[in-house]
Structure 1
Amino acid sequence: MADVSYYTKEGLENLKEELQQLKTTGRAKIANAIAEARDKGDLSENAEYDAAKEAQGLHETKIAKLEETLSNARLLDESKLDMSKVLALSIVKIKNVKNGATMSYQLVSESEADLKAGKISVASPIAKGLLGKSVGDKTEIQVPAGKMEFEILEISR
């Protein structure tokens, strides 16, 4: 059974747009490349044709994976989420207890994660250590660089 992933409305729309683009524009480009390579003659010794067919296979695999992701995607209704605990889609302001640095992250699905935008995957070590915690809680999280202790300052949506 595939894992269910939770998405924001924006993230789900982005996935649908990407799938639509792959099915239309992407397939058309590959079909043109195959047709051009086929027109160049003997297919048994045509590396361009082989490359275009391989690209087509990879493209169809990507479409299939995206369709599977969408079939297991669930839209979270943010208005019904508990604001007292850290959950998926929570925006969490945390403080590194050791050096006093504060950071703010939104916990999102793996495909929506973008560290530059302050969005981390719920599957990441930091997010896993924060899930279920409340404001004022301190948590020790094992990260690749070692153990870090964080205090939860604020939870919002």
Structure 2
Amino acid sequence: MDKMPITANGYRQLEAELKKLKSNDRPEIIEAIAAAREHGDLSENAEYHSARERQSFIEGRIAELEDRIARAEIIEPSKLGGDTVKFGATIHVVDEDTDEQLVYQIVGEYEADIDKGMLSLSAPLSRAMIGKSIGDSVEVTTPKGSKAYEILDISYK
């Protein structure tokens, strides 16, 4: 079983979702299934089939989260450091074409969210920046063409 790097914050989010599914969603769906059964013939009972479908989704998500938590290797970015980009780094870059400044943090696969500036460790931009230093330029091929970024700052928080 391969370990997957994750920040402490990302790990807490996985645990919180798992707890919610087990303590809230699972009991609610069990009650919904029981209530739907009381309506009689299950073959034409849309409420029952909908509840069973939801139960299947919840149980699948619980199994997925338990696997992710079991494989998680928690890495605390604030305990890292250095002057090169690695997992957990918060990187300030400038788009060399548009002069737009952007901030990204390199995080684990499970916590990536581009809208929040959280790049997966395996994302093309992350892979291009790993090992680079302030002042280095990286070029990334995207579906819209090639983009060049200069690294302005690297921090670990």
Question: What's the TM-score, normalizing by structure 1?
Answer: 0.90
Shift in Å, 1:131: 1.4
Percent of aligned pairs sharing the same letter: 39
Matches of 1:79 and 1:64 in 2, distance apart?
30
Q: What does residue 140 of structure 1 align with?
A: 139
Partners of 2:3 and 2:107 lie apart in 1 by 13
Unpaired runs of at least 5, structure 2 = none
Matched to 1:25, the amino acid is N
Residue aligned with 1:6, SS: strand
**Which residue pairs with 2:46 in the alignment?**
47
Please list the CA deviations of residues 8-42 of structure 1 after superposition, one character each: whole Å capped at 9, or x if unmatched: 21211111011011011011110011011100012
> What is the alpha-carbon root mean square deviation over aligned residues?
1.6
| Structure 1 residues 4-153: aligned runs within 5 Å | 4-153=3-152
Structure 1: tracts of 5 or more residues without a match: none
| One-letter identity of the residue aligned with 1:11 | G
Distance 2:96 2:70 in 1: 41
Aligned mates of 1:16, 1:79 — CA distance in 2: 21
State the 1:5 CA deviation: 2.2
CA distance in 2, matches of 1:44, 1:8: 46
Alpha-carbon separation, structure 1, partners of 2:138 and 2:11: 31
Q: Distance in 2 between matches of 1:51 and 1:93?
A: 46
Aligned amino acid, residue 77 of structure 1: E
The CA distance in 2 between the partners of 1:9 and 1:79, in whole Å, is 10
Number of residue-to-residue matches in the alignment: 156
Give distance in 2, aligned partners of 1:52 and 1:118: 36
